[in-house]
């Protein structure tokens, strides 16, 4: 193996390791506290088992929050790569404005804020303050924060998009287990069924622009609103 191949393999290994750490359930951003409205959907009987959960999640992937998150992540990665501060702030503001309810805003921005704090404390990139200083970090959503960090660490966009998509689906199925909608085996069956769609959306987002943003998952958005007044709750959203 020549030195160039060895360097490339080391770079790829580092990128994969960082993504596994940053998007792990153990990374302290508080993802366990949010259900993305799924708790309210379960309470109203819209989602009750694997048969109803799988299409619910598929819609979020192809026409809902995850699709938008992947597009915003890609846009943030490109803006951070070119050190375009104004563009990055625009993307951050747009990502926050697109949240359909107060609880979804909290879910997205609290995780984004916590993510950036952990990156700054434990995984600082060369001269990160030069890029982060102009941002209002209080309202940076999680996907935008991940895009920024991945760019600063030279992690390829395609790898980041795929890892983020898988992590989103994993968090949702984990919430479904805790809500007793499905069990652990069914969770893995859903992940296996959704994987082709997740990979396809990650690939599509790489070539998308902000003009491609949009969603059509009204029940999910309504669920996040209904959750605000739900009497008994396990989750914050």
Instruction: Report DSSP letters for 80-118, one per residue.
Output: HHTT-HHHHHHHHHHHHHT--SHHHHHHHHHHHHHHHHH
Number of separate domains in the chain: 1
Residues 124-156 pLDDT 10s: 877 655 555 445 567 899 999 999 999 989 999
User: For residue 92, is it within any domain?
Assistant: yes
- Residue 23 counted as domain residue: no
Q: What is the CATH number of the domain that holds 166?
A: 1.10.4190.10
Range of the domain at 126: 36-221
The vertex-150 CA angle with 31 and 105, nearest 5°, equals 35
pTM above 0.85, yes or no: yes
Domain-located, residue 11: no
In this predicted structure, what is the pLDDT of residue 127? 65
Residue 26 maps to a domain: no
> What are 38-76's pLDDT values in tens digits?
999 999 999 999 999 999 999 999 999 999 999 999 999
Instruction: Tally Cβ neighbours within 10 Å of residue 78.
Output: 18
Distance CA 115, CA 27 (A): 8
Taking the mean position of all CA atoms in its chain, how far away is CA 143?
5
Return d(Cα 69, Cα 142) in angstroms, integer: 8
| 131 part of a folded domain | yes
Report angle CA 195, 201, 203 to the nearest 5 degrees: 105
Whether 236 is in a domain gets the answer no
């Amino acid at each position: 193996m020549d030195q160039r191949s060895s360097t490339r393999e080391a770079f790829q290994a580092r990128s994969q390791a960082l993504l596994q750490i940053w998007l792990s359930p153990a990374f302290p951003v508080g993802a366990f506290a949010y259900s993305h409205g799924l708790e309210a959907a379960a309470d109203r009987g819209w989602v009750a088992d694997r048969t109803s959960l799988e299409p619910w999640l598929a819609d979020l992937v192809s026409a809902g929050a995850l699709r938008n998150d992947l597009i915003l992540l890609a846009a943030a990665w490109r803006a951070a790569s070119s050190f375009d501060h104004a563009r990055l702030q625009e993307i951050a503001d747009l990502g926050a404005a697109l949240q359909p309810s107060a609880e979804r805003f909290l879910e997205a921005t609290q995780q984004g804020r916590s993510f950036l704090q952990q990156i700054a404390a434990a995984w600082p990139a060369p001269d990160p303050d030069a890029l982060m200083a102009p941002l209002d970090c209080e309202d940076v959503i999680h996907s935008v924060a991940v895009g920024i960090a991945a760019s600063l660490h030279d992690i390829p966009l395609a790898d980041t998009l795929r890892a983020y998509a898988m992590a989103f689906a994993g968090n949702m199925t984990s919430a479904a287990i805790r809500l007793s909608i499905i069990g652990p085996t069914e969770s893995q069956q859903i992940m296996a069924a959704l994987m082709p769609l997740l990979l396809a959306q990650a690939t599509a987002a790489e070539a998308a622009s902000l003009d491609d943003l949009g969603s059509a998952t009204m029940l999910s958005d309504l669920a996040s609103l209904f959750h605000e007044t739900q009497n008994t709750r396990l989750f914050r959203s």
